[in-house]
Structure 1
């Protein structure tokens, strides 16, 4: 689906920005880059800023005009941070992603362009008039101009998130530990009782619990632990802390203080 989307950079002045945009694209699964009359490209700075997006840069198509870059596209969206004299349909990046994917779903094989302008002045009014929609990134109004690569990243991110959602794929990764299956097994009632016995013993040994005047400490701790679901790894950590505490105060496993 994202193969139908091209990123078009118009008259980019610094090759590092081209590299940064290529990296942003590859991060989000976009591969088609079109450069309209770039001032310096190819250039080592582009590769350096690309940081591994060499395939995107090497596959970049260089054309002399925006008209040629978008000639076969059925949907063209141009980014703009400035108000224009002529009212034009304006969408935010999330709405833009919806329209892009809706168009591709409606017409498989349809080509779509996301057009980004010059670093210092963006797209001209004439260039924006070649776009069906203008995309406005709702940034800080006191400092609204984004770096070119950052703007590409925002739109590419919204596209990827929507693609994952429509394909019912997860949008976040769950951290998996080496022994995750074993670690996630909840502790049994017997294991909890063994822990409470160990905990009470250590609290007495460090002087925090007076067995003659317990003052409901252990029932309150039981209630505290009862509010959470402790798994086996967590129990091993808790028991380990108690054991190391006993070592630190010089108590043997039998509960006798070392002389």
Structure 2
């Protein structure tokens, strides 16, 4: 990601610069180039960056697109409008793949993703400086994205491509606060004891007639089999059954659900 730069051309609203900086830091990018921004540095940009101050402080302000692209061997420009000049068209995911293919091949030079003005995007002349044209497949009836939102879409795809290449997970697993042991699946013996307990409670509440089973327990076994019950979840289920039986006998509850 250190060889990828985000280039914003002639940005008119400083808040969009801050929003772009925040999106970049969220996804692990740091190199921001600003071509003739109308208002920068700006307190509004800093406010919208929401902690990505280091990206703003490290931003390189230049007077031309050529300066921003110096040292780049792959340049991809974004646009929501059709152009008369044909360019190789990529969606954001394909653009991320293109970027990391170049990185994998150890090709010298940086990679630039270029974003145009809020009101008119990149000019045809500026797009000619790009080898590829990136189009975000948004709603055709309302296709123009906010500048910072467009940056977020592309840097997200870059982040996903990076994680996949590194073999790192793209989603986090949620762990219960109790212990790793409780995240282990319930054993076959534990499941069998649970089904015996469940059937007994269903009989006691009048929901299940063992003389007319109608495949109820077989269907419940399939249901719980699909769920993949953990040890912690088994404790919760057994606790519910136990408290149901206590309630049927008119006894006071032994614990609340806050204990599980």
Please give the range of the TM-score, normalised by the shorter of the 2 chains. Answer: 0.7 to 0.9
- 8 A Cα contact 2:27 2:156, kept in partner: yes
Q: Is the partner of 1:39 in helix, strand or coil?
A: coil
Larger radius of gyration: 1
In the superposition, the TM-score normalised over structure 2's length comes to 0.87
Q: Does 1:246 align with 2:245?
A: yes
Q: TM-score, normalised by structure 1?
A: 0.87
Count of aligned positions: 249
Equivalent residue number for residue 49 of structure 1: 48
SS in 2 for 1:115: strand
Per-residue CA distance 1:79-125 (angstroms, 9 max, x = gap): 11111122222221122112212222323552111110000100111
The aligned residue for residue 35 of structure 1 is 34
Q: Relative to structure 1, is the Cα distance of residues 199 and 84 closer, same or farther in structure 2, using a 3 angstrom cutoff?
A: closer
1:221-240 map, 5 Å = 221-226=217-222, 228=225, 229-240=228-239
Is it true that 1:96 corresponds to 2:92 in the alignment? no
Q: What displacement does 1:72 show?
A: 1.6
Partner of 2:167: 168
> How do 1:76-225 residues align onto structure 2 when only pairs under 5 Å count?
76-210=75-209, 214-216=211-213, 220-225=216-221
In 2 relative to 1, CA 40–244 (structure 1 residues): closer, same or farther, beyond 3 Å?
A: same
List per-residue Cα deviations over 1:120-151 (Å, max 9, x = no partner): 10011111111111111111111110110111
Residue 209 (structure 1) shift: 3.9
Tell me the secondary structure at the aligned position of residue 140 of structure 2: coil
Q: Is the 8 A contact 1:186 1:231 kept in 2?
A: yes
Answer yes or no: is the 8 Å Cα contact 2:2–2:30 preserved in 1. Answer: yes
Cα deviation 1:138-166 (Å, max 9, x = unaligned)? 11111110110111111111111111122
The answer to whether the 8 Å contact 1:165/1:171 transfers is: yes
Give unmatched runs, 5+ long, in structure 2: 253-260
Q: CA deviation at 1:180?
A: 4.8
Following superposition, the deviation at residue 200 of structure 1 comes to 3.6
CA contact 2:96–2:157 (8 Å) conserved in 1? yes
Stretches of structure 1 lacking an aligned partner (at least 5 in a row): 254-259
How large is the RMSD of aligned CA atoms in angstroms? 2.2
